[in-house]
Chain A
Amino acid sequence: MISFTLNDETVTTDDTPDTPLLWVIRDTFKLKGSKYGCGAGLCGACTMHVDGVAMRTCVLPVAAVAGKSITTIEGLGTPDNLHPLQAAWIEHNVPQCGYCQSGQIMSAAAMLATNAAPSADDVDQAMSGNICRCGCYPRIKKAILATADKTDLATEAQA
């Protein structure tokens, strides 16, 4: 039995400890927003936050997250309560097929959490682990930079 926090709730699984977190989330907890793309840590479709850090969960055994806090795309925001990045994704018409986008958004959210005002190069750097076969890169980049700008303004306004 392995316990961890999933989107703010404590959960327990009896999946074998070597099961990648991705499959525990998808098959056992039935959250389907995180995707399988390569199973080898090469595409980022499976990205979730583990204690706030973006991780490739297709190669992360569930044993490694015992006691940790996992956030999936479902925990980041919902249609009724969008994360600013999700709102920007819609505004900039980012998704095409959409399959990679949960992973893209999770990677972007983790980056913005540590770097609120990234440069275009910072974005390239942080996002180059996420493949989009549909080629949405220019829009992903625009949406991230626009979100960072807005969030910056918000912080300044508060200050």
Chain B
Amino acid sequence: MSQHTTLTRRHFLKTSSIAGGGLVVGFSLMGCGDTSPALRSAEGTMAPNAFLQIGTDNTVTFYCPRDEMGQGASTGLATLIAEELDVAPWHFDVQWAGVHPDYNNPDFGVQGTGGSTSLKAHYEQLRQVGANTRAVIIEAAAGLLGVNASQLSTDDGHVISGSKRLPYGDFVNAAALLQAPEQAPLKPPHGFKYIGKDFSRIDAMAKATGTAEFGIDVDIENLHHAVVKRCPVAGGTVATYDATAALAVAGVSDVVEIGSGIAVVAQKYWAAKKGLQALEVQWQMPKLASVSTADVKRDYQAALGVADDQALIGSEAGDLEQGFAEADHIVEGEYWAPYLAHAPMEPMNAIVRIENGEADVWTGSQGVGAAQGLVARYAGLAKENVRSHNTYLGGAFGRRGTLTHVIEATQVAVATGKPIQVLWSREDDLQSGVYRPASLMQVKAGVTDEGKITAWQATRVGGNISPETMANMMPALLPTAVGDGTIDWVVGLADSAFKGWVVDGSSVEGLAEDYDTGSHQVRHTTVDHGLPLTFWRSVGHSYTAFAKETAIDELAARADIDPVAFRLKNLTQNPRLQNVVRLAGEHMQQMQVAPGRALGFAAHHSFATDVAEIAEVSVSDGKIHVHRVVCVVDCGIAVNPDVVRAQMEGAVMYGLTAALHGNLELEKGQVVESNFHNYPILRMDEAPEVEVIIVDSGTSPTGVGEPGLPPIAPAVANAVFAATGQRLRSLPLQLA
């Protein structure tokens, strides 16, 4: 999956004929006008417009439009095309798509991967691409064989005509001359051969043998390695520096100042690293340098105290006052969630080469177009002169949407004239990154003796994700000609909008949507100390579900009703989540719980998917042990059920790391945690068994990568309550 040549049509056809001819199928999805079944040449772009290429030797190449960060998108998307093309997905040669509008995420309108959208967004489109391609091959075969198309069928890349079994490759040259249909009929779900079936991920072999190529593994001629010393406090700038000692280290070739700090360059990584240790830098500290965690908590608390007067109102419905008046019990709680780092296993890295007015960038990112845009902007090139090459991503979880490392590599390449790989250390990753925002939340809710929720008021205090993400993405996505000043102005506008006028949806998503609450109100106050923020697996849901599902448990306890029965009673408007809760509840009743252990329950809707989780927990030596987790998920059609199970397992583990360990502390603006000794990740000896039950609801696919995460922290907290009577309202969970 390593070679990406970006091609004009002429080049491409030449390549094809060298390879012996073949069928290249492109579909104009963005109204670009040309519907030729051969590769459309979009003048002035540098990428092929095509998902499929079928060779006369019957090889099928799939240009995968989404990034593979472990979530299984490449297997899933290949399966969608494969189903209708009628070629087993494991026979596909999967290549990463270059930059072109045809590869945009239909949900986003740009070429980004995230938000648990890949299978959901491409479900119709890629099946249609497969069906149209199969139809045109059949038409060509009918012509060549002199039979009626209705007499032909297909099986795994072959046309079946009577007793003959002929490879698609025999017909692709003829097919290339025909006009493919645009709306060939799609199979009904009961006819699916590959969708809904378990088979090994198509990347399993490469990943089990060390042959999968990640960004960090890419090597090009004369590659130089750069490491960067950044201000220990985000937003600080270089005051002065002395490069003498660093330059004296054997192998160090350059020391250059760039936007984020000072870069040390050498032919080998280790020399650059040693050079960095010798480097002396004085910093101009930003305002954040006066802020420690205690200040953040104090400021959030103060904002919560005046929320009645000052908070922005988000969604609201019904008469809250009346709702509280009708309640027999009112429950009120405050919930804390800290800043978190994503810590994907592969630290950030990027290679940039600039030569003869053209550039190449290699990086595993969640936005291959954004990488292109950043290189163009910071190298002063037009986008069409920048080739953006994707690779496997060694984990992302939202982190690889922010591409500071691409900017750094570009700036170092410009300054030195050398092809540059920038590699972040784990310390850089934890201390110079972008973070899940900290949140202080309050839920005040009323419930009747019969267990009906009558009022729900939820308030959140913290920084906003959306304006910062916009700040990161705009320089990448806008034409190079749009100046930095304009971008700053628009970003500033968005920032103040979310502070003063309108609630950022990402900040409060999940706080109040799931239950029939009679009346509700969501409130938000922005308090932002300046630590950079971004999406983190499941975004706002990663903390709102903790507050909401703990509060629900508290309400159930107050009304003295079984927590599952209580949820069912208050989910009548939300039948899919109610069904998941009911199934999980039935399962829970069958569970044999070992003495000394207790079960906790939580459920949450996110990314269009419904998930309920049961955690079996014990407490000993002041520690919480999670032994078993059952996860019931309705994500519509599970395109590859085993990938869905793996994502639920993984989300549980990721969420458990946050629930049991995850915490970043600020000390004078600096992130204290530096590596895995003080930012511990769940390890095998702490990992529970996970049983995943997929609800077969038969609807189109919904999100899978993230929705397994939100319920786990409250499920564990609720289990701890069941085991000990202690109500834990602060993450990471710690016993009193």
Which residues of A are in contact with B by a Cβ distance under 8 Å? 15-16, 19-20, 23, 26-28, 30, 32-40, 42-43, 45, 72-74, 77-79, 82, 86, 89-91, 93-102, 105, 123-125, 127-141
Contacts and interface: CB of A to CB of B under 8 A. Distances in A.
A124 B268 CA distance: 36
Q: Which 8 pairs of residues, A with B, have the shortest CB-CB distance?
A: A33-B210, A135-B653, A98-B207, A97-B70, A99-B394, A96-B70, A73-B210, A95-B207
A72 B72 contact: no
A23 B343 CA distance: 21
A73 B205 CA distance: 13
Contacts of B667: none
A49 B688 CA distance: 29
Nearest to A135: B653
B652 A135 contact: yes
A133 B205 CA distance: 20
Interface stretch (B344-352, B402-410, B440-448, B526-534): B344-352
Contacts of A129: 683
A94 B200 CA distance: 9
Nearest to A100: B345
Given A15-B268, A125-B685, 16 more contacts: A27-B268, A28-B268, A30-B219, A32-B213, A33-B209, A37-B346, A40-B675, A42-B677, A96-B70, A98-B392, A99-B395, A124-B684, A134-B345, A135-B654, A137-B653, A140-B684
A128 B685 CA distance: 6
B208 A134 contact: no
A145 B523 CA distance: 51
B345 A86 contact: no
Contacts of B396: 97
B297 interface: no
A20 B268 CA distance: 12
Contacts of A72: 210
B299 interface: no
B308 interface: no
Nearest to A97: B70
A119 B684 CA distance: 14
10 contacts: A23-B269, A33-B209, A40-B676, A77-B209, A93-B201, A98-B206, A124-B684, A136-B650, A137-B653, A137-B683
B212 A39 contact: no
A41 to B, nearest CB: 10
Residue among A20, A130, A139 with most chain B CB within 10 A: A139
B345 A35 contact: yes
Given A74-B210, A79-B209, A124-B685, A131 B676 contact: yes
Interface of B: 68-72, 200-201, 203-214, 216-217, 219, 225, 250, 268-270, 343-347, 392-397, 423, 425-426, 642-643, 646-647, 649-654, 675-677, 681-685, 687, 689-690
A119 to B, nearest CB: 13
A26 to B, nearest CB: 8
Contacts of B203: 95, 98
Contacts of A135: 649-654, 682, 687
A7 to B, nearest CB: 11
Contacts of B206: 79, 98
Contacts of B68: 97
Contacts of A19: 268, 270
Contacts of A28: 268
Contact of A96 (B72, B675, B676, B689): B72
B649 A139 contact: yes
B268 A42 contact: no
Nearest to B629: A138
B684 A133 contact: no
Nearest to A89: B208
Given A20-B270, A93-B646, A97-B69, A82 B200 contact: no
